[in-house]
Structure 1
Amino acid sequence: MDLSVYRIDTDLFVSDFLRALPLAVWVLFAVHGIAKWSYYWASRRWGHGVGLYFSRKVIHMAAGGIVALLVPFVFQEPWVPFILGLALAAYVYLPHRTGRLMEWFQDPDNISEVYYCLSWALAVLVAWPFSVWLAVFPLFLMSFGDGVTGIIRGIRQRRRVKSWDGTLGFMAVSIPVGAILFGAVGALTAIVAALVEKQGVIDDNIGVPLISLLILLAAHHLGAIAL
């Protein structure tokens, strides 16, 4: 573990900040454009509740998921993605405080999108001294695995429920990716993450990245996965 990566190099920081600007624009477009269109499309067919659920999952994939996949190729240090993750957490939390919700994806009784942003930022920061790829896969699970899960359940169940059809969708998307990245450990991590999402005791935006990151860090420590 190389803790020297936490030293702030001004040149790298500025360079990464400039690299991040197009991604920030993309995230805002995903939130205010793609997700809003998804909400109206889904709500006309299945009602407000499903539309809300649908658009939240679209944001998971289009904003958090795509950016997570790009992190190893765009950023040279961990602080810019971490700070931007915190900034987005504040951006989606403030409407809850002011009562001016972005109604196409925000639920007044649910601030899971805030947990999502915080988990995203912390996963990148924690994994960076080992390998940022140890964060990318947990974020893939939280974004695409959980995203597909929610869309399946929204369309099939017409409500927010922890049904097995969504869990199987989570596994179908995530197990092959885990196997490609980390072999049997990655496949096992995907299965565990899907079951963590299904149990519903811990918010999946916290539980899925936390448990999957811990499994990968332990496997790395034991020499079970090569980076």
Structure 2
Amino acid sequence: MLVLPTVTAEELIYDILKAIPLFIYIVFLVRFVTKHLYNFMISKGLKHNVAVYFNRKIIHMMSGGIVALLVPLLFIEPFVPMFFAYLLAIAIYLPHRSRRITSWFQTEDNIYEVNFCVAWGTSIFVLWILTGDPWIAILPALAISFGDAVTGLVRNIVFGYRTKHWVGNIAMAIVMMPIGYVFSGLIGSLAMGIASIVERIEINPVDDNIFITLAVTAIIAIIYLLTL
């Protein structure tokens, strides 16, 4: 049963006003903070691709993760968070389109950071209107923000380059299954466990951001519908 929030125009405007500072925060993080971090990492001898990968995971956690946790606290509906996620997706797709990527966190061979924004906003919207519970709705976003970042950071520390290896998936499960339990009990823990396995799947241009959100959203949606 879909639960469409009833909001007034005034409430919608209020949500938009709350979203704008978060959007500015993300832009500042992406355009300035991570650029300086990239320069710092390069100055310490890290390879370009390693510094870029670390930056992407930092952005995952500091933008996608933190903002996802704020969504249930700040917003009364899922439309505005999804809209701004799509707006951000467009903003970071344009450098790819013009072939002038922001080299400290983007790569020419994929647009996975665009997938991240779309998956983040869509999953929150779908689960919010399905369950009516914004805390459950942010689980897929948390999985691709904190969970996927943990896998990448662990693998990069262990191997020194981007690779798919079970050590990252185990780290993701250790971190995310308890978080899933806190927000949605055994269902959330199960969803995060499966997401930790699905994270290994990547078929360019579809990446683990898409597969993780699809898996977590589908598991929660199916169990929710079966228990109505």
Q: What's the TM-score, normalizing by structure 1?
A: 0.92
What secondary structure sits across from 1:101 in the alignment? coil
Query: 8 Å contact 1:41–1:51 — kept in the other structure?
Result: no
- Stretches of structure 1 that go unaligned for 5 or more consecutive residues are none
1:165 maps to what in 2? Answer: 167
1:60 maps to what in 2? Answer: 60
Query: 8 Å contact 1:50–1:155 — kept in the other structure?
Result: no
Q: How does 1:3-152 map to 2 (within 5 A)?
A: 3-5=3-5, 9-43=8-42, 44-129=44-129, 130=131, 131-152=133-154
The letter of the residue matching 1:150 is G
2:222 maps to what in 1? Answer: 218
The letter of the residue matching 2:12 is F
The letter of the residue matching 1:207 is F
* Cα distance change on mapping 1:4 and 1:166 into 2, 3 Å: closer
What secondary structure sits across from 1:198 in the alignment? coil
Q: Over residues 88-120 of structure 1, what are the superposed CA-to-partner deviations in whole Å (9 max), with x where a residue is unaligned?
A: 000000000111111100001110001111111
- Larger mean CA deviation between 91-100 and 179-188 belongs to 179-188
* Cα distance change on mapping 1:120 and 1:153 into 2, 3 Å: same
Q: How does 1:196-215 map to 2 (within 5 A)?
A: 196-201=198-203, 202-215=206-219
Query: 8 Å contact 1:138–1:212 — kept in the other structure?
Result: yes
Q: What's the TM-score, normalizing by structure 2?
A: 0.91
- Stretches of structure 2 that go unaligned for 5 or more consecutive residues are none
Aligned-residue identity in percent: 38
Partner Cα distance (1:84, 1:48) in 2 = 30
Query: 8 Å contact 2:15–2:80 — kept in the other structure?
Result: yes
Partner Cα distance (1:30, 1:103) in 2 = 14
Give the paired residue count: 223
Q: Over residues 177-227 of structure 1, what are the superposed CA-to-partner deviations in whole Å (9 max), with x where a residue is unaligned?
A: 112222222222111101100233451110001110110111222239xxx
Query: 8 Å contact 2:201–2:207 — kept in the other structure?
Result: no
Query: 8 Å contact 1:162–1:200 — kept in the other structure?
Result: no
Root mean square deviation of aligned Cα:
1.7
The letter of the residue matching 1:84 is F
* Cα distance change on mapping 1:65 and 1:33 into 2, 3 Å: same
Q: Over residues 23-77 of structure 1, what are the superposed CA-to-partner deviations in whole Å (9 max), with x where a residue is unaligned?
A: 1121112212332233234343430011111100111110111111111111112
Partner Cα distance (2:201, 2:101) in 1 = 28
* Cα distance change on mapping 1:185 and 1:4 into 2, 3 Å: closer
Partner Cα distance (1:34, 1:158) in 2 = 23
